Structures are given as C-alpha cells and as structure tokens.
Amino acid sequence: MSSAKRFFSFTVFLALSLLVGSGHATGLVESTEFGGDTEIVVHFRTAVDQDAAQDVARYTVFEETDPDIRLTVSAVELSADGMEAVLRFAEPLNTTVAHVVTVHGLGGVEETTFSVSKSYLGYLVSILISALLINNFVFTKYLGLCVFFGTSKRKETAKGMGVVFTVVIVVSVTMSWFLYQYVLKPFHLDYLQIVIFIGLTSLTVQAVDTVLRKVNPILFKSFGVYLVLVIANCIIIAVPLLMASNEYNYFETFMLSLGAGGGFLLALYLMSAVRERVELARVPESFKGLPIAFIVAGQFAMAFLGFSGLQLF
C-alpha cells in the first residue's frame, strides 16, 4: 500500500472515530452512553461483581466543564450477566456536555476513570436543528425582522432572499471564524469583534450584489434596498458572536451558520405563503398590511415554541 493510501485510510479512520464515538473508555470499561435524561449506561469488558457494582458510593460523577460539583448517583442496576450497568440520577443530566465518571474498586481495579458524551456527529446535527427549528432566530429570538417583513410578500422573492441570505451568512461566518481564531484571539483583539464581523459581512454582501446584478437582474431589483440591509442584519451579527462566545470549531460554526440561514429561509417561505393567501382574504381595513403580518408572525412564533426542549441526539 502506498503512503498516500495509508494516509487516506488513517484520515478516514480518525474522522469516523471522532464522529461515531460516544464515550472514551479504557481497561475495564468497553463503551459508555447516555441512556436518557437521568441515566448513564456502562458496558464492561468482563463481568463484574454485583454487590460491588451496585454500591453507589463507589461512583464519582461530574460534568467535564464543572468538576467541582459532584452529581449524586441514586441507584445502579446491573444486568444478569454482569456486563452492563445503568447509573441512575435523581436530577436530569445535561447531556450536551461530557461527563466524567470514576469507579473505585470494581473488577479488581483500584480506580477506573472514563468520560461519557454524545456522538460528535449527533452533536453537529443538534447544532443545525437547534438553529433551524428549536432556536429559530426569527420566531424565537425575533432577529432580522426588517428584512423578514420586507421580503416575505411573495414566495419567489422570499426563496431568493433566503438562499442569498444563507450564502452570505455561511461565507461571512466562515471568514469570521478564521479571522477570529488566527488574528483576533492570538493578538488579543477580541474587542474588535463587532467591527470586524460587520466588515466581513459587508464584503460578502457586496460580492453577492455584484454577482446578482449580472446573473439575475430581475431578482436583484425585487430585493431593492433589503439586500443592502442584510449587512446590518441582526442574525448575521449574532451568529459570529455566538460562535466566538461558545468557542466553536469550524465544523460547529459551519453547522450553526447553515442552520441560521436555513431557519431564516424557512421563516421567509412560511410567512410569504401565508401573506399571499391573506391578500385574498377579507381582512379589516385597519389590519391590512403590516398589522396582519405581525399577527401572523406572532402565531408562527407560538407554533415554534412547540419545538422547545426537543432533543434528537
């Protein structure tokens, strides 16, 4: 096998390990996973003693980001073959962060420490779904409303603006991440975040403006002033700031920006579909135009509250 093939195989193996692995375990423990909001499931390599495994005093559990607060294990259930233990907690676990578990005097080992975390691929998808539905920037955070109400009168305009917005936010946030990681952080220029991020967004919008003007003049004219307003759109500023505060890596940043853009596209399309029908309805004169649009947006916001607390991974 050539060196290039070996390198490619190693890269694929490493990537799959990062994406699929749900917990880091060594020695006595074979694998770990979250069994639910109040459970941690531990799979052992060999059968363990039942009395020792069910002794809750042998377990020390804490969140990796907060090691000073110990989580109390209320009960431990061991399978009949002694190969699987379910740790139960009185309070729900924050499964979005890794948990560190230390077992004392089990299986002939004085101390065994391992971590429990969700699949990294599932974590990336959860960031996407969160920005798309659960924490939709329009219907749950009420950001970007100027462009939202201005371009949601027709479905064609809404779809075009949604796609353009998604491209702008993905490109600008990607550039923001690289600049933040390799310029702002190393040189302690974090206080320039907002200025830099707005500048990168302006650069991206200007590029999209030039391309649209040549490729699709009709769509460009339908956007009007709202394409320029994308530069100061709250969502485009909020996403890189959220990326910086959470210290996301590039893949997490990409999923966040894609989810935010997709969520804005979804909100625009839903709103435009309703507004086209509202124009044909018998709406009281005082409610025509923006008033009825605000009422519809409020109803969508209440509907999206139904996604609160949704966890797929």
pLDDT in tens, 34-85: 887 899 999 999 999 999 999 999 999 999 888 999 999 999 999 999 999 9
Inter-CA distances, 94 with 69, 71, 118, Å = 13, 11, 11
Does residue 201 have a pLDDT over 80? yes
Reduced to 3 states, what is the DSSP secondary structure of residue 15?
helix
Does residue 19 have a pLDDT over 90? no
Give the pLDDT mean for 238-259: 93
Q: Tens digits of per-residue pLDDT, 146-167?
A: 889 988 889 988 888 888 889 8
**Do residues 122 and 312 lie in contact, with contact meaning Cβ atoms separated by under 8 Å?**
yes
Percent of the chain whose predicted confidence (pLDDT) is above 90: 48
Number of neighbouring beta carbons within 10 Å of residue 107 = 18
**Do residues 94 and 33 lie in contact, with contact meaning Cβ atoms separated by under 8 Å?**
no
Give the pLDDT mean for 104-108: 86
Q: What is the pLDDT of residue 69?
A: 92
Q: Which residues pair with 88 in a beta bridge?
A: 39, 75
Between CA 161 and CA 171, with CA 211 as vertex, the angle to 5 degrees is: 65
Percent of the chain whose predicted confidence (pLDDT) is above 70: 90
Closest by Cα among 149, 145, 146 to 137: 145
Q: What is the pLDDT of residue 259?
A: 95
Number of neighbouring beta carbons within 10 Å of residue 47 = 15
Does residue 194 have a pLDDT over 50? yes
Sole residue written with tokens 């600049």:
179
**Do residues 129 and 258 lie in contact, with contact meaning Cβ atoms separated by under 8 Å?**
no
> Which of the four pLDDT bands, split at 50, 70 and 90, describes residue 232?
low
Q: Which residues pair with 60 in a beta bridge?
A: 102
Residue spans in the chain of domains classed CATH 2.60.40.1220:
22-116
Inter-CA distances, 79 with 49, 110, 213, 231, Å = 11, 22, 66, 58
DSSP 242-261: HHHHHT--HHHHHHHHHHHH
Q: How far apart are CA 146 and CA 223, in angstroms?
A: 13
Summary mean pLDDT of the chain: 86
Does residue 302 have a pLDDT over 80? yes
Does residue 269 have a pLDDT over 70? yes
Contacting residues for 53 by C-beta, under 8 A, at least 6 apart: 76, 78, 82, 85, 106
> Which of the four pLDDT bands, split at 50, 70 and 90, describes residue 207?
confident
Give the pLDDT mean for 278-292: 89
Contacting residues for 112 by C-beta, under 8 A, at least 6 apart: 26, 27, 28, 29, 102, 103, 106
Per-residue tokens: 41: 């499931």
Give, to the nearest 10 degrees, the angle between helix 155-179 and helix 250-278.
160
Residue type, 137: F
**Do residues 85 and 42 lie in contact, with contact meaning Cβ atoms separated by under 8 Å?**
yes
Give the pLDDT mean for 292-301: 93
CATH architecture of 22-116: Sandwich (2.60)
Between CA 66 and CA 73, with CA 72 as vertex, the angle to 5 degrees is: 125
Does residue 214 have a pLDDT over 50? yes
Reduced to 3 states, what is the DSSP secondary structure of residue 189?
coil
